[in-house]
Amino acid sequence: MAISALIIDDEQLAREELKYLLDEVGGVDVVAQGANGIEAVKLIEEFHPDLVFLDVQMPGLDGFQVIQKLAERRRGNGGEPMPQIVFATAYDQYAVRAFAVNAVDYLLKPFDRSRVSEAVERARTRIVSGSGESGGEKPTSSQIEALLKLLNRNQGAERAPAQPAKLIVQLQSRLLLVDQAEICFAAIDEGVIRIVTRTFEGQSKCRTLEELQELLDSASFWRAHRGFVVNINHIREVVPWFKSSYQLRMNDKQQTEIPVSRAQTKRLRELFKL
């Protein structure tokens, strides 16, 4: 039996990409799509889906405000079941808060097929077992109250530790302390992360780009593509590419050209007012 699902995202390309991956995974019937938080609430109330893929930053209501609206309505109507929620966004700073409100999973853009499949299976397990506040049996009033309290917490109450100003980069047998501002970009290739500055190239001891990003200043470093993290201060040129896509020409020695994923095109336009 297929899981009924909604996709809510203000970016059409992101909706199309996720729909394509869900079709590949199978077992999910996307009954409707929405472009903002207000539409999300209306569509959830109309279709009563098993599962909602929900962006965080959207016009009208953000993803957490959508959950809050649903919880408030259910508090007033006797506790109608909440759908399972998978947050799908380009920003990882909301992950802890997403799991605090009992989300099934948290997907980062650009989406990965295996992670989408994993999220679907997690949701299916909850739906079949009736476990979790958002699936199966009606939540109690105390569960809804607890959910609302979590949603109303000051988002800045738990701040991430400050990133180190310098990063260790391995250059042959040497371990160099490099100012983050000097890094042009980082790239992963066959499990090895390259760190490229304007004067040299070395390697990071981090195992994944996600792990590296935790050490970098989020105000300067941006995951432009699944395989690249770029320092926006070292972008030399934005190069228009085919089908409304872009490449970034960096200011390292090689003037490396880095693709911008479809899911990150909106972020690029926001950064440089394109």
Q: For a pLDDT cut of 70, what percent of the chain falls above it?
A: 81
**Res 190: pLDDT:** 86
Euclidean distance between CA atoms 249 and 238, whole angstroms: 6
pLDDT digit string, tens, across residues 180-224: 999 999 999 888 999 999 999 999 989 899 999 888 988 889 999
Closest by CA to 169, choosing from 215, 218, 230, is: 215
Domain boundaries, the chain: 3-152, 166-272
Q: Is the pLDDT of residue 254 over 50?
A: yes
**Res 91: pLDDT:** 65
- Residue bearing the bigger pLDDT, 34 or 154: 34
**Res 134: pLDDT:** 43
Average pLDDT over residues 131-141: 46
Chain mean pLDDT for the chain: 83
Q: Is the pLDDT of residue 240 over 50?
A: yes
pTM over 0.75: no
Domains 3-152 and 166-272 share a fold: no
Average pLDDT over residues 158-163: 48
pLDDT digit string, tens, across residues 102-120: 788 888 888 889 999 999 9
Q: Is the pLDDT of residue 34 over 90?
A: yes
Query: What CATH number was assigned to the domain covering residues 3-152?
Result: 3.40.50.2300
Fold exhibited by the domain 166-272? OB fold (Dihydrolipoamide Acetyltransferase, E2P) (2.40.50)
CA of residue 182 relative to chain centroid, distance: 27
Closest by CA to 234, choosing from 187, 186, 182, is: 182
